[in-house]
């Protein structure tokens, strides 16, 4: 492969691995916030335990996902200086906002929520997790604004060999953004629902002592997966109209066509399975009682992740050979002086690092799931301090 293909492959690998963390974060954040809200309003200790258990999984995924995001930011300056020079004044603005939200506001509120258990007033503590959710969604919004600009460079004009922003409102109302943003957010809900559903099925299949806990969690997972899959498929099909206008040849290639087919197949099968099989079986907790279905639910857990990666590939590869559609080619955006040897080494390093983080993320989450809600560190009450030893009196 030449330097352009290696640079594209490096960004595709790291982008795909990073997106695995992002899609789960977008799905779990609102679920944890809703569970926390139910606990504050009802005072039911079961809701508190559910918040802590699923919140622990969210925190693990978020913490490791931050590192993968740093690698993504690093690559823009390392490999794609031509993009930064030509379109940085427009493309960089939403990314700067995303960095402010993700690395400052979201992390700050999440830290307050993690360490504020039994220290902050309950409603203030609850506000923190809702602010985490809102900033996570705002972060997704600005990332999709930047990506939609690459798909359709609206609101910018070329001056002196560079793009300049002329209409900020047009940047935020990009036709490439209108349906893609809710499509991504819905995919996150679908993914979060399947993870909750699969983990609950694991415990119900093992007949653990926490039956009520995981019966309720299973219901939440199925309903969330239903809502997520319904809107994911709906907003996915809604994109064909705008895409057909701004990028008429987007899906004519083999790779984007195959990826699109995989995404549609998983989306349709997943939606039908949830809508016509799993959702009706919530009646009288039949789904929780029929143990023979639980291994199938566990095997279904990775499907939204596969669909999300396929959708990302279809969206990005279908734009080739343009990095800014119709304005800047990928070959012209590459940093001058890049070599195949250097890119091969950095590809191996980045792919190895992010792949390791993905494995660690899975192992840690699987460990939390296996242990169950009895052994969750998040939100555990502080142990009473041991009394200081009384010094012996001298005779």
* 394 in any annotated domain: no
Please tell me the predicted confidence (pLDDT) of residue 395: 38
* 378 in any annotated domain: no
Please tell me the predicted confidence (pLDDT) of residue 257: 85
Please tell me the predicted confidence (pLDDT) of residue 394: 43
* 185 in any annotated domain: yes
Mean pLDDT by 10 residues, the chain (395 residues): 90 90 96 97 94 96 87 80 91 85 85 94 96 94 93 89 89 91 96 97 92 96 96 93 89 84 92 92 94 95 95 90 93 90 90 91 95 88 59 49
> What pTM value is reported for the model?
0.93
Which residues span the domain enclosing 44? 3-371
Please tell me the predicted confidence (pLDDT) of residue 388: 53
Please tell me the predicted confidence (pLDDT) of residue 69: 81
Please tell me the predicted confidence (pLDDT) of residue 40: 96
Spell out the SS3 assignment of the chain: CCHHHHHHHHHHHHHHHHHHHHHHHHHHHHHHHHHHHHHHHHCCHHHHHHHHHHHHHHHHHHHHHHHHHHHHHHHHHHHCHHHHHHHHHHHHHHHHHHHHHHHHHHHHHHHHHHHCCCCCCHHHHHHHHHHHHHHHHHHHHHHHHHHHHHHCCCCEEEECCEEEECCHHHHHCCHHHHCHHHHHHHHHHHHHHHHHHHHHHHHHHHCCCCHHHHHHHHHHHHHHHHHHHHHHHHHHHHCHHHHHHHCCCCCCCHHHHHHHHHHHHHHHHHHHHHHHHHCHHHHHHHHHHCHHHHHHHHHHCCHHHHHHHHHHHHHHHCCCCEEECCCEEHHHHCCCCCCHHHHHHHHHHHHHHHHHHHHHHHHHHHHHHHHCCCCCCCCCCCCCCCCCCCCCCCC
* 91 in any annotated domain: yes
* 384 in any annotated domain: no
* 231 in any annotated domain: yes
Q: How many independent structural domains does the chain possess?
A: 1
* 19 in any annotated domain: yes
Please tell me the predicted confidence (pLDDT) of residue 208: 85
* 120 in any annotated domain: yes
């Amino acid at each position: 492969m030449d330097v352009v293909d290696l640079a594209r492959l490096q960004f595709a690998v790291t982008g795909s691995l990073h997106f695995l963390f992002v899609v789960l974060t977008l799905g779990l954040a609102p679920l944890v916030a809703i569970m926390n809200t139910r606990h504050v309003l009802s005072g039911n200790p079961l809701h508190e335990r559910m918040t802590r258990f699923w919140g622990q999984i969210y925190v693990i995924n978020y913490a490791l996902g931050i590192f993968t995001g740093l690698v993504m930011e690093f690559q823009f300056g390392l490999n794609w200086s031509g993009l930064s020079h030509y379109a940085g004044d427009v493309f960089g603005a939403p990314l700067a906002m995303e960095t402010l939200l993700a690395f400052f506001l979201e992390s700050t509120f999440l830290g307050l929520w993690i360490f504020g258990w039994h220290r902050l007033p309950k409603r203030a503590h609850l506000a923190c997790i809702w602010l985490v959710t809102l900033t996570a969604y705002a972060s997704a919004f600005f990332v999709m604004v930047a990506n939609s600009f690459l798909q359709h460079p609206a609101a910018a004009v070329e001056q002196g060999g560079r793009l300049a922003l002329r209409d900020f409102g047009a940047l935020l109302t990009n036709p490439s953004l209108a349906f893609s943003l809710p499509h991504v957010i819905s995919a996150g809900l679908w993914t979060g629902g399947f993870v909750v559903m699969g983990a609950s099925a694991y415990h119900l299949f093992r007949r653990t002592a926490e039956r009520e806990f995981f019966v309720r969690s299973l219901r939440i997972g199925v309903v969330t997966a239903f809502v997520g899959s319904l809107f994911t498929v709906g907003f996915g099909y809604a994109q064909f109209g705008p895409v057909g206008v701004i990028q008429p040849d987007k899906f004519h290639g083999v790779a984007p066509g195959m990826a699109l087919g995989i995404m549609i197949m998983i989306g349709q099968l997943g939606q039908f399975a949830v809508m016509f099989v799993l959702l009706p079986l919530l009646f009288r907790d039949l789904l929780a009682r029929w143990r023979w279905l639980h291994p199938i639910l566990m095997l279904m857990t990775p499907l939204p992740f596969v669909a999300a990666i396929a959708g990302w590939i279809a969206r990005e590869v279908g734009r080739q050979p343009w990095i800014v559609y119709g304005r800047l080619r990928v070959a012209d955006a590459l940093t001058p002086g890049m070599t195949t040897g250097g890119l091969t080494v950095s590809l191996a390093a980045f792919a190895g690092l992010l792949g390791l983080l993905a494995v660690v993320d899975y192992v840690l989450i699987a460990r939390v799931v296996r242990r169950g809600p009895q052994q969750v560190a998040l939100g555990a009450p502080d142990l009473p301090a041991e009394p200081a030893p009384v010094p012996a009196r001298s005779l």
